[in-house]
Amino acid sequence: MKQISSKNMAGIVCRTLNHVDERLVDHGIRVAYITLKMLEAEGCSDRKSIRDLCFLTMVHDVGAYKTEEINNMVQFETGNVWNHSIYGYLFLKYLSPFSELAPVILYHHTDCDKLAGISGLQRDLLKWAQMVNLSDRVDVCIQTGEGVNIIEYLERFSDRKFSSEVIDLFKKAEKRDQILEKLGDSANQRKISKEVFEALGNPSFSRKEIETYLKMVVYAIDFRSPFTVIHTITTTSISQELARLMGMQEIEITQIYYGALLHDLGKIGIPVEILEYPGKLSPQAMKIMKTHVDITEEIMNGEMEPVIANIALRHHEKIDGSGYPRGLKGEVLTPSERIVAIADIVSALNGRRSYKDAFGKEKIVGILTEMKEDGLLCEKTVDVMIRHFDEIMVNVRNTCEPVLNVYDHINIEFTELCGVCEKI
């Protein structure tokens, strides 16, 4: 598989979140830049810590994409900051490679004098939470044109809102790198982004690390539609089961796994009212819905192997050439692409939505058989799906259950943490 680095993955994450609101992504990159300069001023030489903190800081407001705070966040009007801090913390704790650093995001808006009263938090996490807090506030002051003297503002809140240690680090970084001047000119955004991405470096990820990062990206679709996440996990599981039953090689099963995992990533750029529309879409709405494949291609931006990209991008193509977006015919559709196309249909039919119950086995088998006979789907793959339907769906339920349990746990913990954090 093509080697994926933290720089590649950060690009995928940013392009994904850009389809929700690019202003928060740009803000995240600027906050990461300030934090990076403070780490360099401190003399930090641990490349992994720098890489992870930069990545984490880029998505420090990830919780705002889920909560109703996003409209205020993109205008930098932060009143109640706990909701997005808590959801961001839970997202990163349970659905990302940054579980150990997640407390940094939970407390990234907490004043330093209040942090001192929180027990059980490692000193480094406290300091990093303060660094993100300060970096966030500096960028907000600059972007909103509040006209304050940043250094005087920070010193006025020394050891109350911001620790004197972190303020001194910022002053040292400002003296070395003229941070305020660079951030004050919007023309520098591209240069700032480049510097942050360079700090992420190019260490190749292992297969397990790639899988963890890609899952984080897929779970981000939950900000648009939780049904889409469940559908994606189900499609991925069905695809793997079919591939094994059809005797495919392990490398092919891995490629199918990645392709299926990414197949609906572009839906993050589709309006919620279309994603969740309770019924058949109008021709105009369907035209918009179909663009999710193009958005997926734009997000991947050549970062994935062509084999994996094609599996993701061809799941709506049909054997007779009547599918989309390219109208490809069966002779150019690989067995892997045919498998994911069928898994996608079964997952959609089997899924429960606000406007429909899950279809039963008999109805799903009837639809697949009709589509096969009409020359839309691969006969061989449909036959395997039908012959092993019960076995496949039992395994799929077992695979998906832990994911659904995580979502349930996040909702419970979110409510619990809201009550605890409001007392801080």
SS3 41: helix
Residue pointed to by tokens 């369907």? 286
> Which tokens go with 93?
């704790």
Per-chain mean pLDDT for the chain: 89
CA 4 distance to own-chain centroid = 16
SS3 338: helix
Give dist(CA 239, CA 314) in Å, integer.
14
**Which of 70, 89, 90 lies closest to 80, judged by CA?**
70
Q: State the pLDDT at residue 220.
A: 83
pLDDT for 83 beyond 90: no
- The fraction of the chain above a pLDDT of 90, given in percent, is 62
> Helix axis angle, 335-350 relative to 379-387, nearest 10°?
50
SS3 302: coil
Cβ 342 vs Cβ 385: under 8 Å:
yes
44-53, 88-97, 180-189, 398-407 — which is least confidently predicted? 398-407
pLDDT for 197 beyond 50: yes
Cβ 349 vs Cβ 364: under 8 Å:
yes
Give dist(CA 233, CA 237) in Å, integer.
6
Cβ 260 vs Cβ 302: under 8 Å:
no
Give dist(CA 286, CA 292) in Å, integer.
10
SS3 120: coil
- The fraction of the chain above a pLDDT of 70, given in percent, is 94
**Which of 400, 99, 362 lies closest to 234, judged by CA?**
400
- CATH number, domain 224-410, options 1.10.10.60, 1.10.3210.10, 3.40.50.1370, 3.20.20.450: 1.10.3210.10
Higher model confidence: residue 421 or residue 312?
A: 312
pLDDT for 234 beyond 90: yes
Q: State the pLDDT at residue 355.
A: 63
Give dist(CA 329, CA 326) in Å, integer.
9
Cβ 216 vs Cβ 94: under 8 Å:
no
Residue 76's pLDDT band (cuts 50, 70, 90): very low
Residue pointed to by tokens 């001047």? 181
Where does CATH 1.10.3210.10 sit in the chain?
A: 6-205, 224-410
Cβ 303 vs Cβ 4: under 8 Å:
yes
26-40, 61-75, 180-194 — which is least confidently predicted? 61-75
Fold of 6-205: Hypothetical protein af1432 (1.10.3210)
57-61, 99-103, 198-202 — which is least confidently predicted? 198-202
